[in-house]
A and B are shown apart, each in its own frame.
Chain A
Amino acid sequence: MFRFVLHRLALIVPTVFGLTVVAFGLVRLIPGDPVRVMAGIHGVSPERHAELMHQYGFDLPLWQQYLGFLNGLLHGDLGTSLITRSSVLSDFFSRFPATVELSLVALLLALFIGLPAGMIAAVKRGSLFDHAVMGAALTGYSMPIFWWGLLLIVFFSGYLGWTPVSGRMDAWFFIQPITGFMLMDTLLQGETDAFWSAVRHLVLPAVALATIPLAVIARQTRSAMLEVLGQDYVRTARAKGLAPWRVVGLHALRNALVPVITVTGLQVGLLFAGAILTETIFSWPGVGKWLVEAVYRRDYPSVQGGVLLVALMVMLVNLSVDLMYGLIDPRIRHRRS
Chain B
Amino acid sequence: MSTLPVTALQEPQPPRALQAPPHPLREAWAYFAENRGALTGLLIIAALVLVALGADLLAPHGSNEQFRSALLQPPAWTSGGNWSFVLGTDPLGRDILSRIIYGSRYSLLIGMVVVVLATTVGTLLGLVAGYVGGLFESLIMRLMDILLAIPSLLLAIVVVAILGPGLTNAMLAIAVVYMPQFTRLARASVIAELQREYVTASRVAGAGPLRLMFVTILPNCLAPLIVQGALTFSNAILDAAALGFLGLGAQPPIPEWGTMLADARDYITSAWWAVTFPGLAILVTVLAVNIMGDGLRDAFDPAMRRS
Chain A residues with CB under 8 Å of chain B are 14-15, 18-19, 22, 26-27, 29-31, 138-139, 141-144, 146-148, 150-151, 153-154, 157-158, 269-270, 272-274, 276-277, 280, 291-292, 295, 298, 303, 307, 310-311, 314-315, 318
Residues of A within 8 A of B278 (CB): 147
| CB neighbors of A among B259-294 (8 A) | 261, 265, 268-269, 272, 275-276, 278-279, 282-283, 286-287, 289-291, 294
**A26 touching B158, Cβ below 8 Å:** yes
8 A-B contact pairs sorted by A residue (CB < 8 Å): A19-B146, A138-B290, A144-B283, A151-B279, A154-B268, A157-B269, A310-B151, A314-B149
Given contacts A141-B290, A303-B161, A310-B154, contact A15 B242 (CB under 8 A): no
Q: A144-B258, A295-B157 are in contact. List 5 more A-B contacts (CB 8 A).
A: A14-B142, A22-B143, A22-B146, A154-B269, A276-B151
B133 within 8 A of A: no
Instruction: Please name all residues of chain B whose beta carbon is closer than 8 Å to the beta carbon of A19 when the two chains form the complex.
Output: 146, 149
- CB <8 Å contact, B234 and A273: no
Alpha-carbon gap, A158 to B267, bound state (A): 11
Query: Could you say which residues of chain A place their CB within 8 Å of the CB of B145?
Result: 15, 18
Interface of chain B, main secondary structure: helix
The prevalent SS among residues of A at the interface is: helix
Residues on B with C-beta less than 8 A from A14 are: 142
| B33 contacts across to A, CB distance below 8 A | none
Cα of A142 to Cα of B153 in the assembled complex, Å: 15
B246 in the interface, Cβ–Cβ < 8 Å?
yes
CB of B158 within 8 A of CB of A307, answer: yes
Q: Which residues of B contact A26 (CB under 8 A)?
A: 158-159, 162
Are A151 and B162 neighbours in the complex by a CB distance under 8 Å? Answer: no
Shortest CB–CB separation between residue A69 and chain B, in angstroms?
A: 16
CB distance from B251 to the nearest CB of A (A): 14
Chain B 105-122 interface mask (CB, 8 Å, partner A; 1/0): 000000000000000000
B residues near A (Cβ < 8 Å) are 142-143, 145-147, 149-155, 157-159, 161-162, 164, 234, 238, 241-242, 245-246, 248, 258, 261, 265, 268-269, 272, 275-276, 278-279, 282-283, 286-287, 289-291, 294
Which of A143, A146, A150, A154 lies at the interface centre, i.e. has the most chain B CB atoms within 10 A of its CB? Answer: A146
**7 cross-chain pairs, A with B, having the tightest CB-CB distances, nearest first:** A147-B279, A273-B153, A142-B286, A273-B151, A142-B287, A158-B269, A272-B151
Contact of A150 among B147, B234, B265 (CB under 8 A): B265
Contacts of B147 in A (CB 8 A): 22
Asked whether A310 and B245 contact (CB < 8 A) given A15-B142, A150-B279, A151-B279, the answer is: no
B261 touches A146 (CB 8 A): yes
Q: How far is the CA of A277 from the CA of B265 in the complex (A)?
A: 13
Contact across chains for B158 and A147 when beta carbons are under 8 A apart: no
Which of A142, A269, A298: most chain B Cβ within 10 A?
A142
Could you tell me if B157 and A147 are in contact, using CB atoms closer than 8 angstroms? Answer: no
CA distance A142 to B157 in the complex (A): 20
Alpha-carbon separation in the docked complex, A141 to B238 (Å): 11
Residues of B within 8 A of A270 (CB): 151-152
Instruction: Give the docked Cα–Cα distance between A26 and B286 (Å).
Output: 30
CB A303 to nearest CB in B, in angstroms, measures 6
Cβ-defined contact, A273 with B152, below 8 A: yes
CB-nearest residue of chain B relative to A276? B153
Contacts of A138 in B (CB 8 A): 287, 290-291, 294
Q: How far is the CB of B227 from chain A (nearest CB, A)?
A: 15
- Nearest Cβ on chain A to B42's Cβ, whole angstroms: 15
Instruction: From B142, B146, B276, B282, name the one whose CB has the most chain A CB atoms within 10 angstroms.
Output: B146
Q: How far is the CA of A144 from the CA of B261 in the complex (A)?
A: 11
**Cross-interface CB contact of B151 among A27, A141, A142, A269, cutoff 8 Å:** A269
Complex Cα distance A142/B289, Å? 9
Q: In whole angstroms, what is the CA distance A150 to B153 when docked?
A: 19
Min CB–CB distance B194 → chain A (angstroms): 21
With both chains docked as a complex, state the minimum distance between the C-beta of A83 and any C-beta of chain B, in angstroms: 15
Bound complex: CA of A138 vs CA of B234, how far in Å? 12
Residue of B nearest to A219 (CB): B294
For the complex formed, measure the closest distance between the CB of B99 and the CB atoms of chain A, giving whole angstroms. 15
Residues of chain A within 8 A of B286, CB atoms compared: 142-144
- Give the CA-CA distance A142 to B233 in the complex, in Å: 12
Nearest residue in A to B160 (C-beta to C-beta)?
A295
What's the minimum C-beta distance from B279 to chain A, rounded to whole angstroms? 3
Once bound together, how far apart are the Cα atoms of A292 and B287, in whole Å?
A: 27
Q: Which residues of A contact B287 (CB under 8 A)?
A: 138-139, 142
CA distance A146 to B247 in the complex (A): 13
Distance A27 CA – B155 CA, assembled complex (angstroms): 11
- Expressed in whole angstroms, the Cα–Cα distance for A15 and B154 within the complex equals 18
CB of B232, distance to nearest CB on chain A (Å)? 14
A153 to B269, CA, bound (A): 8
Quick one: given A144-B279, A146-B245, are A295 and B150 in contact (CB under 8 Å)?
no
A318 to chain B, nearest CB (A): 8
Closest to B304 in A: A223
Chain A minimum-CB-distance residue to B150: A311
- C-alpha gap A284/B113 in the complex (Å): 34
B149 touches A15 (CB 8 A): yes
Which A residues are CB-close (under 8 A) to B158?
Answer: 26-27, 295, 303, 307
CB contact under 8 A between A280 and B246, given known A15-B149, A310-B154:
yes
